[in-house]
Structure 1
């Protein structure tokens, strides 16, 4: 399995109505969070500690909240906030 990111929970529904330019920024920054997680947790599937605390990332037009689940090798975007 390799690392990937995806929308989760209500963020998936919010992504359906958010402007494309905002979503492009969210997706670009989520990919950066993904690359950082992949580099930091090289052996993700065998990770034995607790998952790291998630965070917030500001993007033009709003922000998003993410959570890293190391053993699943996933970054989940769990909330989108468009300030439009």
Structure 2
């Protein structure tokens, strides 16, 4: 088990404002899985030609994107943006 965690940046209210409950649940599920990957989460998602920096993952069949940062010094995955088009 990893000691990594996840959090919203700058805040949960800012990032998730207006999202349906099901979308919010999916975002939090993905964030939990990314935190379980720890440092390797920097290799997940797009862009696929490099690791680190702002990463993006499709959610719920391509109806949205989750933007996240992997910060090794904090042992944390920060969810910074959620775009929902559904």
Q: Which TM-score bucket, shorter chain as reference?
A: 0.7 to 0.9
Structure 2 residues not aligned, in runs of 5+: 42-50
Give the TM-score, by structure 2 length. Answer: 0.71
Please state which structure has a larger fraction of its residues in helix: 1
Q: Count the aligned residue pairs.
A: 73
Give the secondary structure class of the aligned counterpart of 1:17: coil
Give the TM-score, by structure 1 length. Answer: 0.72
Q: Distance in 1 between matches of 2:29 and 2:53?
A: 21
Structure 1 residue 55 and structure 2 residue 37: aligned? no
Q: Which moved more, 1:29-38 or 1:10-19?
A: 10-19
Give every structure 1 segment of 4 or more consecutive aligned residues whose post-TM-superposition deviation is greater than 2 Å.
9-12, 51-54
Greater RCO, 1 or 2 (C-alpha within 8 Å, sep 6+): 1
Give the number of the structure whose alpha-carbon radius of gyration is greater. 1
Structure 1 residues not aligned, in runs of 5+: 42-50
Name 1:83's counterpart in structure 2.
85
Name 2:48's counterpart in structure 1.
none
CA displacement, residues 23-70 of structure 1 (integer Å, 9 cap, x when unaligned): 1111111111111125x49xxxxxxxxx93331111114111000110
The question of whether the paired residues in 2 share the 8 Å contact of 1:11 and 1:80 is answered with no
